[in-house]
């Protein structure tokens, strides 16, 4: 699959991911999506640089105000994400949802 084909597939998967998070009872805000290659933070092979990753901030609790910080809080959504073809959860970076394109990228 070409990079463009993967980007197009990922772009159609992200709205489904957000809707699934809401269906599971989470509040959602957006974090990093595209990351310009000129920035110096993050993994050098980050899929954000290829438009194949997004960070989602999840919230639970009364009025959806409690920010989810740990891997466990993202596990259920990640399992769903993997079920539709998304990449596995990265321990310690659980708000990162991506679509694998090449080996060695995250």
State residue 105's pLDDT score.
Answer: 52
Question: Residue 77 is part of a domain; what is its CATH number?
Answer: 3.30.1380.10
Do the domain assignments include residue 103? no
Ranges assigned E (strand) in the chain? 27-30, 53-60, 66-67, 96-98
Do the domain assignments include residue 104? no
Do the domain assignments include residue 63? yes
Q: Which domain holds residue 50?
A: 3-98
Return d(Cα 46, Cα 44) in angstroms, integer: 6
Do the domain assignments include residue 55? yes
Is residue 102 scored above 90 in pLDDT? no
Contacts of 26 (CB under 8 A, 6+ apart): 58, 59, 60, 64, 68, 77
Average pLDDT of the chain to the nearest whole number: 92
Do the domain assignments include residue 74? yes
Count how many domains the chain has. Answer: 1
Give 106's pLDDT tier (boundaries 50, 70, 90).
Answer: low
Give 28's pLDDT tier (boundaries 50, 70, 90).
Answer: very high
Return d(Cα 55, Cα 32) in angstroms, integer: 5
Is residue 18 scored above 80 in pLDDT? yes
What's the token pair of residue 63?
């009025």
């Amino acid at each position: 699959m070409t990079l463009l084909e993967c980007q197009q597939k990922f772009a159609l998967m992200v709205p489904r991911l957000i809707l699934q998070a809401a269906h599971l009872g989470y509040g959602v805000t957006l974090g990093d999506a595209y990351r310009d290659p000129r920035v110096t933070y993050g993994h050098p092979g980050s899929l954000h640089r290829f438009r194949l990753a997004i960070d989602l901030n999840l919230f639970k609790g009364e009025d959806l105000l409690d920010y989810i910080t740990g891997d466990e809080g993202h596990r259920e959504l990640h399992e769903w994400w993997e079920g539709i073809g998304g990449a596995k959860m990265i321990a310690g970076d659980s708000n990162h949802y991506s679509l694998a394109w090449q080996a060695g990228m995250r």
